[in-house]
Structure 1
Amino acid sequence: MSKDSLTDLHQLVWTALLAATIGAGAYLIVPIGPVPVSMQPLFVFLAGFALGPRRGAMAVGLYLLAGALGLPVFSGGRSGLGHLFGPTGGYLLGWLLTAWVCGMARRQDGTIPWLRGAGFGLTALALLYAAGAAWLKFALSLSWHKAWLAGVVPFIPWDALKLGAALAGARYMTRIGLMPGRR
């Protein structure tokens, strides 16, 4: 096998692995309201940081496709289009953009400086909250204030910790040469 085909295989394996970890993160939840706290955002952030924008979004897309087709990968072991387009649909679909934006933190050489990673990560998180709260507002006929209080405020500290952990993990795995090569 050539080096390019090994790199492609490595990226494919990481894409599938991170899609699977996003699904596994659905089973680690704290039900605190209409949008549960889960470990899934950690793996979405990690997919972007580790794979870059395109492949990170592909990992999330693979996860969403699995759930839409009936695999129990959404929070609480749910699946199907009804859940994908239910109250949490804005967050689920927003993860595509989240992974893409986090992936933009990677430099051409594959490194992710702390400040650059934090900047892109916080931008991705703000966009995710905007998409999720807007969808929640319309899905549950809430005011903007109630959507913000129910769908964003309780998650800020949790998601900040997950974002930091994903960034630290991606930086460490890049430093030890575990991350797939970039194209």
Structure 2
Amino acid sequence: MNSKLSTREITFSAACVALLAVSAWVTVPFGPVPFTLQTLALVFVLVAMPGRTSILSVGMYVLLGGAGVPLFSGMRGGLGVLFGPTGGFILGFLLAAVLAAALRRLMPAGGVVRDVATAVLAIACSHAVGVCWLATAGGYSLAAAFAAGSAPFIALDAIKACVGVGLAKAVRAAVPSLAE
């Protein structure tokens, strides 16, 4: 495998970072964790892009946002957001990208099962890391963190994941070079 990034990978990654940022800016306050379109964008990125491009995209999103670029919900950025009560959801995106890339290697390319598994993995990682982080950084019990930061979003995230998978399939069909 070539370790050098291609212009194509850099371009697609930049577009994915922009997509993740715009999806975070669509924010509706909803208790300690806001409603955003990030799950939709994350699932799209993980399903549509090759594994390395997905990891690069999500990694750059987290790094740039952590460095203070206003990429996170409410047009916020900085380490305070990452280490704040909701930062675990964002850090869960990075875990999801790494695990999704591994999953892509194990499962046959282009299958609906792989796409759905990737979407479920994305939601599970974000929620698991987010709830644990919210409990720790927000001073909630684990049950209270789940009730406030995960339970209200499960059905909504499932819908967003379905849309993300559908959009990713359409983009992969339109841009065959995305196939691994």
TM-score range, shorter chain: 0.7 to 0.9
In the alignment, the residues of structure 1 paired with residue 66 and residue 122 of structure 2 have an alpha-carbon distance, to the nearest angstrom, of 23
Secondary structure, aligned partner of 2:49: helix
Letter in 2 for 1:67: G
Equivalent position of 2:64 in the other structure? 66
Let me know the Cα RMSD of the aligned residues. Answer: 2.3
AA aligned to 1:77 is: M
Corresponding residue number in structure 1 for 2:74: 76
Matched, 1:144 2:147: no
| Mapped pair 1:94 → 2:100 | no
Determine helix, strand or coil for the equivalent of 1:37: coil
Task: Assess if the C-alpha contact under 8 Å between 1:72 and 1:79 holds in 2.
Answer: yes
Deviates more, 1:135-144 or 1:167-176: 167-176
Q: How does 1:24-173 map to 2 (within 5 A)?
A: 24-104=22-102, 106=104, 111-173=109-171
Aligned to 1:22: 20
TM-score of the aligned structures, taking structure 2 as reference length: 0.88
The offset of 1:36, in angstroms, is 0.6
Do 1:83 and 1:89's aligned partners in 2 also have CA atoms closer than 8 Å? yes
Aligned-partner Cα distance in 1 for 2:177–2:86: 31
Query: 1 CA distance for matches of 2:82 and 2:48?
Result: 25
Which amino acid in structure 1 is aligned with residue 39 of structure 2?
A: P
Q: Structure 2 vs 1, CA of residues 89 and 152 (structure 1 numbering), >3 Å: closer, same or farther? A: same
Identity %: 34
Task: Give the counterpart letter for 1:41 in structure 2.
Answer: T
Q: Which amino acid aligns with 1:20?
A: A
The separation in 2 between residues aligned to 1:85 and 1:151, in whole angstroms, is 16
Q: TM-score, normalised by structure 1?
A: 0.86
Q: Secondary structure at the match of 2:54?
A: helix
Shift of 1:107: 6.5
For the structure 1 residues 57 and 154, does the alpha-carbon distance in structure 2 shift closer, same or farther, using more than 3 Å as the test?
Answer: same
List alignment gaps of at least 5 residues for structure 2: none
| Cα separation, 1, equivalents of 2:177 and 2:37 | 21
Deviation of the 1:95 alpha carbon: 0.3
Task: Tell me the secondary structure at the aligned position of residue 33 of structure 1.
Answer: coil
Q: Which runs of 5+ in 1 are unaligned?
A: none
Does the aligned pair in 1 maintain the 2:46–2:118 contact within 8 Å? no
Judge conservation of contact 1:102–1:120 (CA < 8 Å) in 2.
yes
In the aligned structure 2, how far is the partner of 1:143 from the partner of 1:161?
27
